[in-house]
A and B are shown apart, each in its own frame.
Chain A
Amino acid sequence: MSGKLYVARSSQVAARKLDDEMMIMSAPDSTLFMLNETATIVWETADGSTPLDEIVMAKICPQYDVAWSEALQDAEELVRQLAGHGVLLLSEEPLATASPPRSVQP
């Protein structure tokens, strides 16, 4: 990746966290996605203003025993896949702030 990559949650989808996984329904094609724990972290922090590399550095690497470059590569693959389904928005510039996701009461 040459520049920064910004990610934001699409307002077109339905989403809810179930335990540590995120359920996402894409309204245009009624496709259901289940994000695993790490993908959920990326989704939850995709606020449009924090670059992906910083998300990986701050939220993924401290929790998982993984090299930053490797984690970033995986995260880029994930966000591009989700962007292809309209679930995330990607840009090389900061995007409009997405509203924070709701969590289930403990």
Chain B
Amino acid sequence: MQEMSAKALKLRIPLSVQVDLTYRCNERCVHCYLDHDDHGEMTTVEIKKLLGELASAGVFILTLSGGEIMLRKDFFELLECARELTFCVKLKTNAILIRQREAERIRALNVDSIQVSIYSHRQEVHDAITKVPGSLKRSLDAIRFLKAHGLKVIVASVLMVQNSEDYSGVRALASELGVDFTLDPTVTPKMDGDRSILGLNAGHAALQNLFRDPLLVGDVEQYCSLPANADADVLEDVPCSAGHTACYVSPYGDVYPCVQFPFPSGNLRRSSFIDIWRHSDALNEVRSIRLRDLPSCSHCVHVSACTRCPGLAYMEGNMRGPSTQDCEKSFARTGMSSLNLLSKIAPPITLVQIQGFSTLVALPETDQPKDAAHLRLCRLGVNSSAESPRV
């Protein structure tokens, strides 16, 4: 898959595209980033045309998501069309509307995988998050129908205040059901920029626990260790696949680099997909950015291992800036603050990072030293065996 991605990157082929068929939903999850009203979804004809364009552009992995995909009355017609075009189709759903008959149809169309959102193994917690009584039972029943038909199911959970103690219970439930489990530790802002739901994020202690769970991260010591210094090659890397080999299409035909990166790049009601993909100024701007171009992050000790999301950075106000939520994850993982987090601490200071020493140095703006001996060291996560510092 890596080889394929590298080739697609070189050829600028959109290997993977997520299409949200609708933002309408039959759940009202407390952490959801969408406006569920219908503001003019693409019609069946428009989506089928899009699917043809995506196939011609070389898209291989097609993720159909929402909202709740099963609320589209033409869902199976669209799925059939997608499979005729030989996409590798992945579905994201709450599965509430999937019964025996729907599971059979999905199986007959050879869908690659179905990701089902489960927020807790406890009904009172899951149903309180979805705000739909009985939703956990219905989703679990659906998973059993899908599994019975030999389909690959992935249980997906999101860590938040309400369920921060429950992920291991969901993982055990997934294991009992014989399905895969994935956990997203980040509640993201709403797509319209509203950041009010960020208060649902589980917080530092919960993240620390998460990152020290070997069943989730494997070798904890290695996972939580400080990353190696970034060499020139790392700084030449692209921040992520968004806009390079992947993109996102909203139910209204808006094209973005990613579902978490709502940087308007074109609309399919005005231009063809391939025209937007190849010529959009927005996508070309995203493509031009390398890690070395990130003013703060390129100098941060975490740069080579950070999960920085350019979309979250964009929603913070600057796509070349840091994504504070990812800085918080790096801090919870390693115990060392990022440059961005340090800049948020206390009065204005100039921060200098000493390469090779894993140590951060804070210089009061009014008291700039004349040489290194005057530095006031602000040591966070000190690596005592490190080599001598160089500024």
Residues of A within 8 A of B (CB): 11-19, 21, 23, 25, 27-28, 30, 32, 34, 99, 101-105
Contacts and interface: CB of A to CB of B under 8 A. Distances in A.
A70 to B, nearest CB: 28
A89 B58 CA distance: 24
A89 B384 CA distance: 62
23 contacts: A14-B87, A14-B88, A16-B86, A17-B58, A18-B7, A18-B13, A18-B60, A21-B7, A27-B88, A27-B111, A28-B150, A30-B112, A30-B152, A34-B3, A34-B4, A99-B84, A101-B86, A102-B56, A102-B86, A103-B56, A104-B56, A104-B57, A105-B56
Contacts of A12: 110
Given A102-B55, A104-B56, A32 B1 contact: yes
**4 pairs of A and B residues whose beta carbons are closest in the complex:** A14-B88, A104-B58, A16-B60, A27-B110
A15 B86 contact: yes
B324 interface: no
A9 to B, nearest CB: 9
A14 to B, nearest CB: 3
Nearest to B1: A32
Interface string B254-291: 00000000000000000000100000000000000000
B89 interface: yes
Interface string B144-183: 0000001010000000000000000000000000000000
Given A102-B55, A102-B56, A104-B57, A18 B11 contact: yes
A17 B4 CA distance: 11
B312 interface: no
A13 B56 contact: no
Interface residues of B, number: 28
Given A16-B59, A18-B15, A104-B58, 17 more contacts: A11-B83, A11-B110, A14-B60, A14-B89, A16-B55, A16-B60, A16-B87, A17-B58, A18-B58, A25-B60, A27-B88, A27-B111, A30-B112, A30-B152, A32-B4, A102-B85, A105-B58
Interface of B: 1, 3-4, 7-8, 11, 13, 15, 55-60, 83-89, 110-113, 150, 152, 274
Contacts of B274: 105
A34 to B, nearest CB: 7
Contacts of A21: 7
A30 B113 contact: yes
A18 B59 contact: no
B13 A13 contact: no
Nearest to A17: B58
B113 A23 contact: no
A21 B88 CA distance: 16
Contact of B4 (A11, A14, A18, A27): A18
Nearest to B151: A27
A104 B7 CA distance: 14
B112 A19 contact: no
A23 B58 CA distance: 11
Contacts of A13: 86, 110
A63 B289 CA distance: 41
A25 B16 CA distance: 14
A32 B2 CA distance: 12
A18 B59 CA distance: 9
Chain B CB within 10 Å, residue with most, of A13, A28, A30, A104: A104
A12 B109 CA distance: 8
